A and B are shown apart, each in its own frame.
Chain A
């Protein structure tokens, strides 16, 4: 095994070169390059963490904003509803008032009309008595030649009409 049989001739060379190489490796790479690579990784991690925090903050802001907007929307909607309710009530009251007025007018008109109809009827009825009495007087005179006084005719007509 050369590792053991050669050990006395080679140990100095092995130690010497290994210490040089490992020294270069430790100080040139381990202590010089490695920290810079780790600094890059740390910077990246910090950047990612910072970006994530910023994104989280922006999200929270957006949620807040949305909540405020929602609240405002609700408020506006309820205000609009109240306004509409008020307008509706007012319109109803207006309509009721006008309806009542129109009703009253119509009632008045119809009462007047009824009164005039009743009057006309009365006049007409009174007219019928007179016409009937005249007609009866004429008919009696023509049929029997008896002169009947208008009063008598009127009396007869009245009796007949009352019975009829």
Chain B
């Protein structure tokens, strides 16, 4: 929130600021606020999972919550891929938990502590691209390793008429190659747009309250504030949905690689 002269920049929240400069073989690998939030996300997931490690026969609340989440991912992967999907549960679970926790971490009101700014790791194209490449790379590696060159029959769906053979495989290939981009962009755009919208509305509230004319506050700030409550709820929902969509699409793509069509 760079408020210089009452101007609030909704993009400032996405700035990456180095905390500890590091350099490795000519590459700048500084520890940044983004890296810090990745570690916070990892620590949160670890703490959450630790609560599920009591391994009681009759689970407590925390253990039931952890088992509910692992069971949810397990069911999703098993439904999409079948019994062979068991091997991919750790990957889908890691992706889902990382995205979900990172999304929620960006929504946390850390800003009430002066000088602290929440950072949404998943609102960065570099991060979502790596996650998408992990998902897409798994599909490629598993598909080629399991089916060798037969994997390319994925691009020729069953029942394709011979006179469409010049077209269908190219459409299929294109839709296959677009997957990592759609995975990465969907998450990046959803998170960025949501946070920009919230920041703009927050700017309306603050600037309305600071306005010289007394009528601005009730006319602009109050409706914006009410709208912002709704948008925040919606954004929390989007956080969960985006994590779910990413995990579900990944398991569907793994299904393509494991079972072909």
Contact = CB atoms under 8 A, between A and B. Distances in A.
B89 to A, nearest CB: 7
Given A13-B34, A24-B42, A33 B53 contact: yes
Interface residues of B, number: 53
Contact of A28 (B24, B46, B130, B131): B46
Given A34-B90, A37-B67, A40-B55, A29 B45 contact: yes
Interface of A: 1-4, 6-7, 9-19, 21-22, 24-26, 28-31, 33-38, 40-41, 43-44, 47
Nearest to A28: B46
B139 to A, nearest CB: 16
B28 A13 contact: yes
Nearest to B130: A18
Given A10-B16, A25-B94, A26-B91, A38 B125 contact: no
Given A6-B16, A13-B28, A14-B127, A29 B49 contact: yes
Interface string B1-41: 00000000001101110100010100111111011001101
Contact of A30 (B91, B131, B188): B91
A37 B53 contact: yes
Nearest to A33: B49
B35 A13 contact: yes
List 6 A-B pairs, minimum CB-CB distance, nearest first.
A30-B90, A17-B35, A14-B126, A12-B27, A30-B94, A21-B38
